[in-house]
Amino acid sequence: MQLVGRARDQSDRSNRCTSKLYPSRSEVRCFSTSAHPSLHLANQETDTFRTVSRSIMLHQIALLATVTVLGVLEQAYFAMQVIYVRRKCKVSPPVTSGPPEFERIFRAQANCTEYFPIFLSLLWVAGVFFHQVLAACCGVLYLIARYQYFSGYARCAQGRLAPLYLSAGVLCILIGLSVTGLLVYFVPLPRFLFPK
C-alpha cells in the first residue's frame, strides 16, 4: 500500500512539473492578452498600418487602373468591329484582304493594337513616377483620339490623319513625363530646387 501511495505521489508531482513546463493553449492565450497587453496592441497597430498602406497604394494607382480597363474595353470594341465587317463582307480568316471597307477597318484595328502596349507602358511609368492624375488625363485623351482615329479610318483613309497626330502628340507627352519622373527618382537634384 505504501508503494502504491508513493507511486501516486510521484506521478502527481511529474504531472505538475509537466504542466509548468508545457502550459495549455488557454493559458498561453490568457498570458498573451492579460500579462502582456502590449503584444496585442502591437498586433492591432501592425494590422492597421498594413490596411492604411494598402489603401494608400491603391489610391495612388486607381486612376491608372481605370484608364487601363477603359483601354482594354476599347480594344475589345475594335476587335468586334473587325469580326462584324468580316461577316458583312464575307471575308473568312485568315484572309486579310477584301473590299476597301474591310481593309480600312482591319488596318485601323491592327494599328491601334500595335500601339496599345506602348501606351500602357508609358501610362503606368508616367503615373507612378511623375503624377497619376496628369498621366490619367493624357490616357483618356489618347483613348478618345484612338476612337476618332478608328471611326475616321472606317469612313475614309484621310479621316485618320488628325486623330493620328493627336494620339502621337499624347504619346510624346507621356514619354516626356516618364523620362522626367525617372530622372527625378534616380538622379539626386540640388536641394535648393526642392527644399524641405
**Predicted pLDDT at 50:** 67
Angle separating helix axes 100-129 and 161-186, nearest 10 degrees: 20
Q: Is 57 exposed, middle or buried (0-12, 13-18, 19+ CB in 10 A)?
A: exposed
**Predicted pLDDT at 28:** 44
- From the candidates 16, 50, 87, 104, which is the catalytic residue? 87
**160 classed as catalytic:** yes
Closest CA to 181 of 133, 127, 136: 127
Give the start-to-end residue ranges of the domains of the chain.
2-34, 61-186
Question: Sign of the C-alpha dihedral, residues 176, 68, 159, 153?
Answer: positive
**Predicted pLDDT at 135:** 98
Cα 142 vs. chain centroid, distance in angstroms? 19
- From the candidates 86, 104, 146, 160, which is the catalytic residue? 160
> What CATH code is assigned to 61-186?
1.20.120.550
Per-residue pLDDT of the chain (196 residues; tens, 9 = 90+): 444 445 455 555 544 444 444 555 544 444 444 445 555 555 666 666 566 566 667 888 999 999 999 999 999 999 999 999 999 998 888 888 899 999 999 999 999 999 999 999 999 999 999 999 999 999 999 999 999 999 999 999 899 999 999 999 999 999 999 999 999 999 876 654 555 4
Assess contact for 145 and 166: CB atoms under 8 A. Answer: yes
**Predicted pLDDT at 102:** 93
| Residue whose cell numbers read 516618364 | 178
**87 classed as catalytic:** yes
Assess contact for 154 and 139: CB atoms under 8 A. Answer: no
**Predicted pLDDT at 112:** 97
